[in-house]
Amino acid sequence: MRPALATFLTVLLLWALVAQANHALAASHVYLFVGGLLVAQAALELPLHFGMAVSLLAGCVCDANALVPFGTHALLFAGAHAVLFNLRDRMPHDETAGRVVIALFANLALFLALSFLEIDRSPAPAASWLRLFADLACSQIFLALVAPWFFALQSRAIELARPASA
């Protein structure tokens, strides 16, 4: 339970930092999305039930701040978690580079799924895609730059949260 709590607290920290970055970038009309990074460590390292709880809570936190129906992020994050959890033994996730690539693909899938779910709310759906792809490109670059630090933070937090063996 303690590693899951440590993972969730690091996810909450990243969410807060990205929210602040999005606030600062609002004048530039750029939005960063790092949902794949919020889900990756929980899916790749934790047992299913604890990792799923972290992913669902992360989705609820994202839903609380987003203009989408509540539960949208939680449902998408749970689906991404389930897919990554089932594929984790077939993917190279022991090294940071492998985790970053996994997080990038998860982020791409989550961003596109969220975009397809919410595009009909746009007043001009066809015109929105160019902006969405620009946001996706910025998000992927940001994720690739931040992911090594975040994975190291999460690994250290999990290590500190594990009970010391006698």
Position 123 confidence tier, pLDDT thresholds 50, 70, 90: confident
Residue with tokens 């190279």: 92
Domain count across the chain: 1
3-class DSSP state of 47: coil
- What is the distance, to the nearest Å, from the Cα of residue 148 to the centroid of all Cα atoms in its chain? 14
* Single pTM value for the model: 0.89
Domain around 39: 2-161
* C-alpha span between 42 and 90 (Å, rounded): 16
64 lies in a domain? yes
The distance of Cα 124 from the centroid of its chain, to the nearest Å, equals 27
The mean per-residue pLDDT over the stretch 94-98 comes to 89
- Does some domain include residue 166? no
Structure tokens at 132: 């969405």
> What confidence tier does 94 reach under pLDDT thresholds 50, 70, 90?
confident
> Percentage of residues in the chain with pLDDT exceeding 70?
98
DSSP-H helix ranges across the chain: 2-25, 35-45, 48-65, 72-87, 96-118, 125-161
